[in-house]
Amino acid sequence: MFSADPVARLGLSIAIMLAVAKVGGDLATRARQPSVLGELLGGLVLGSIPLPLFAQLRTDPDVDLLARLGVLVLLFEVGLEATVRDVMRVGASAAAVAVLGTLGTLAAGWGVTTLVQPHGSVPLHLFLAASLTATSIGIGARVLQDLGASRTREAHTILGASVIDDVLGLVVLAIASGAIKQSGGGGHVAPAAVVLRLVETMAFLAGAIYLGVKLSPALFRLTSRLHTPGALVATGLSFCFVLAWASDLVGLSPIVGAFTAGLVLEESHSARFVQRGEPSLSERMEPISSWLVPIFFVLVGMRADVRAMGNGGSLLLTAALLVAAIVGKLACALGVPRGTDRIAIALGMMPRGEVSLVFASLGLSLHLLNDGHYAAIVTVVIATTLVTPPALRMRLARTRG
């Protein structure tokens, strides 16, 4: 950027990226697609423009820091959309769908990556397979709502399983990234390291959720005595960032803590504020996330090298990962009870989204993924996001007709 003041340079970067995000999001919404897809594609277009101004954005450390902060806010919001009670009440069938889909995707992803890239390291195969595990809850929810099918048995199973899928996806992320860090990114990941990371992750989640559920009501009751504007959102964000810090302290990704914070907080935490006419925490978060989170998605798109996408090896890997993403989630149909449309549920679990993009971004920061690997994951996210809505619409229209 051609500015001596770093704040002015960062301001220009934010202005460019927000303009791209909002225009791209609008175009995607008009095409009946999630706005995140438009933000991602907008970043892809911006990153392919051969101008030094845009090329510098891809590696700007200040922009990267904002994007990382955006990820914490994003995962906090994802957690706020569910609660610990929601996860507990979704039922055995939804839990079976989520677990089978995650295991099926891990197995399929591991199989295709070892086949397509036989000389790749074990950490690379593990990370690529893990990046495909989490379903995007937003896409399936939107299609079901558009069709007026939100109250069907299929919808309840898809949405319930997607909530658990988010939890499982972040657990897998924590285990994979932790085991890879412990191995130094080399060619071997000891089974003992994976087991240890699993125990540490589950212990952190259990401890954070238990303490959060016990202590957070008192924290928000105390906060409600403050009549300072913004006290609710300040407390919520502080809770999020403290758990993100604690997560990093024990060797996990900070996003695990941010998601856990959102999962713990419920509407009841905002009740005293709402009663006196203030917006709830989720409503307070919207103005913050509406500009911070799109920076992350635009940057993800900018870092996806279009030339790498056209490379023969990258195309082969992309095709293999796409097959694994589809076949792996078909396994979830085995957990669907009789009387429920198994194909519709498998299709509803198909789209990848935010967590897969977080995987891709983290893989780059760990220097585990190259441009081809990164572009392949981003392409799979785009492809599954585009394919799922029409496929799910056709299937539900057919079964309901």
The pLDDT tens digits for 153-195 are 777 778 778 777 777 877 787 777 776 666 665 555 667 767 7
Spatial contact of 374 and 303, defined as CB atoms under 8 Å apart: yes
User: CA neighbours within 13 Å on the CB side: how many for 276?
Assistant: 9
- Rounded alpha-carbon distances, angstroms, from residue 110 to 91, 117, 151, 176, 396: 29, 10, 36, 13, 31
The correct CATH number of 63-400 out of 1.20.1530.20, 1.20.120.1200, 3.90.230.10, 1.10.10.10 is 1.20.1530.20
C-alpha span between 305 and 290 (Å, rounded)? 26
DSSP tag of 333? G
Residue-level pLDDT at 33: 78
Neighbours of 161 (CB within 10 A): 32
Q: What is the DSSP string of 244-310?
A: HHHHHHTTS-HHHHHHHHHHH--GGGGHHHHHTTPPPHHHHHHHHHHHHHHHHHHHHHHHS-HHHHT
CB atoms near residue 241 (< 10 Å):
18
pLDDT, tens digit (0-9, with 9 covering 90-100), for 352-392: 877 788 888 888 888 888 888 888 898 898 888 888 878 87
Give the CA-trace dihedral at 67, 247, 124, 376, to 10 degrees. -30
Region of poorest pLDDT, from 212-221, 301-310, 325-334, 340-349: 301-310
Q: What does the alpha-carbon distance between residue 67 and residue 299 come to, in Å, rounded to a whole number? A: 7
The model carries a pTM of: 0.78
Instruction: Give Cα separations from 375 to 6, 40, 319 (angstroms).
Output: 30, 12, 12
Question: pLDDT tens, 245-259?
Answer: 998 888 777 888 888
pLDDT higher than threshold 80 for residue 301 = yes
Q: Is the pLDDT of residue 107 over 50?
A: yes
CA 161, 265, 257, 361 torsion-angle sign: positive
**Cα 28 from Cα 353, distance rounded (Å):** 15
Comparing C-alpha atoms, which of 217, 293, 289 is closest to residue 17?
293
